[in-house]
C-alpha cells in the first residue's frame, strides 16, 4: 500500500514539474532580446497576419552590414517569420492562395526580393547562419523597391490598406497587396 502511495506522489510531483517547466518555457519568448510580435490588419477583404521576432539595431549597420546585400534573410529573428492570409490575394500583381507561409527576404540597395515559402515552423537560420529556406518550397517571389526612412530601432511590420511594410534601421520596404 505504501509503495502505491509513493508511486502516486512521485507521478503527481513529476507531472507538476513538467507543467511548470512548460509554463516557464512559454513565457521565455517574451523575454528574448528579439521579442515576438504580431502585426495584423485588413487589405480589402483579406485579413493579413505577420508573426515575427523583432530585433534591434543596437548601433549596428544592418542592411549591407550584418545582413549582406544579396543574401536571403529570415525577415526577422529567431523562428522564421510567418505571414498568413485568410483570402486569396495578389502580391505585387502575382497570385497567392489563402494560407500560412514563411516569409524571407533578400535585401538589396535598390531592390529586394520577398519570398513566400510553404514550409512553416522552422527556426529561421541554419547552424551555419544561412536562411533555413528550402527553395523547392517557394510559392511566390516578388521584387520590391526599398525606401530610405528615419531610424527604426526595432524591426516593425505594419499591415496597411495597401499591403504591408517592413521598417528597420533606415529602410522601409513596402509590399503591395490587392
This prediction's pTM: 0.81
- Residue-level pLDDT at 37: 87
**Angular region, 99: left φ>0, alpha ψ -120 to 50, beta rest:** left
Task: Centre a 10 Å sphere on the Cβ of residue 44 and count the other Cβ atoms it contains.
Answer: 13
Average the pLDDT over 154-177 and give the result.
97
Do 95 and 167 lie in a common domain?
yes
Do 94 and 144 lie in a common domain?
yes
Do 17 and 41 lie in a common domain?
no
Residues 6+ apart with CB under 8 A from 165: 157, 158, 172, 173, 174, 175
Do 74 and 92 lie in a common domain?
yes
Do 60 and 78 lie in a common domain?
yes
- The DSSP annotation for 58-106 comes to TT--TBTTTB-TTS-B-SSSSBPEEEEESS-EEETTEEE-SEEEEEEEE
pLDDT (tens digit, 9 = 90+) per residue, 65-81? 999 999 999 999 998 99
Do 57 and 116 lie in a common domain?
yes
Do 26 and 57 lie in a common domain?
no
Do 114 and 143 lie in a common domain?
yes
Do 101 and 20 lie in a common domain?
no
The residue assigned the cell 514563411 is 102
pLDDT (tens digit, 9 = 90+) per residue, 108-159? 999 999 999 999 988 888 888 888 899 999 999 999 999 999 999 999 999 9
Query: Cα separations (Å) of 103 from 1, 70, 151?
Result: 58, 16, 23
- Residue-level pLDDT at 120: 93
Do 158 and 88 lie in a common domain?
yes
pLDDT (tens digit, 9 = 90+) per residue, 3-41? 667 656 555 655 555 555 544 455 567 677 788 989 999
How far, in Å, CA of 142 to CA of 112, rounded? 8
Which triple of cell numbers denotes residue 162?
495597401
Do 43 and 126 lie in a common domain?
yes
Do 156 and 72 lie in a common domain?
yes
Backbone φ and ψ for 55, nearest 5 degrees, come out as -75, 165
- Residue-level pLDDT at 131: 86
Parent domain of 22: 1-31
Question: How many folded domains does the chain comprise?
Answer: 2
- Residue-level pLDDT at 24: 47
Q: What single-letter DSSP state applies at residue 27?
A: H
CB 26 within 8 A of CB 36: no
Amino acid at each position: 500500500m505504501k509503495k502505491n502511495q509513493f508511486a502516486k506522489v512521485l507521478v503527481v510531483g513529476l507531472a507538476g514539474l513538467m507543467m511548470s517547466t512548460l509554463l516557464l518555457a512559454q513565457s521565455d519568448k517574451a523575454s528574448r532580446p528579439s521579442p515576438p510580435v504580431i502585426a495584423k490588419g485588413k487589405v480589402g477583404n483579406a485579413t493579413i497576419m505577420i508573426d515575427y521576432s523583432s530585433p534591434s539595431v543596437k548601433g549596428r549597420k544592418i542592411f549591407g552590414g550584418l545582413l549582406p546585400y544579396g543574401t536571403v534573410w529570415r525577415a526577422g529573428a529567431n523562428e522564421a517569420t510567418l505571414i498568413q492570409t485568410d483570402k486569396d490575394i495578389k502580391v505585387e500583381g502575382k497570385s497567392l492562395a489563402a494560407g500560412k507561409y514563411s516569409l524571407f527576404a533578400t535585401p538589396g540597395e535598390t531592390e529586394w526580393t520577398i519570398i513566400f515559402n510553404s514550409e512553416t515552423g522552422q527556426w529561421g537560420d541554419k547552424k551555419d547562419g544561412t536562411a533555413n529556406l528550402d527553395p523547392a518550397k517557394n510559392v511566390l517571389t516578388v521584387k520590391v523597391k526599398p525606401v530610405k526612412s528615419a531610424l527604426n530601432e526595432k524591426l516593425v511590420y505594419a499591415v496597411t490598406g495597401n499591403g504591408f511594410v517592413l521598417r528597420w534601421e533606415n529602410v522601409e520596404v513596402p509590399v503591395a497587396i490587392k
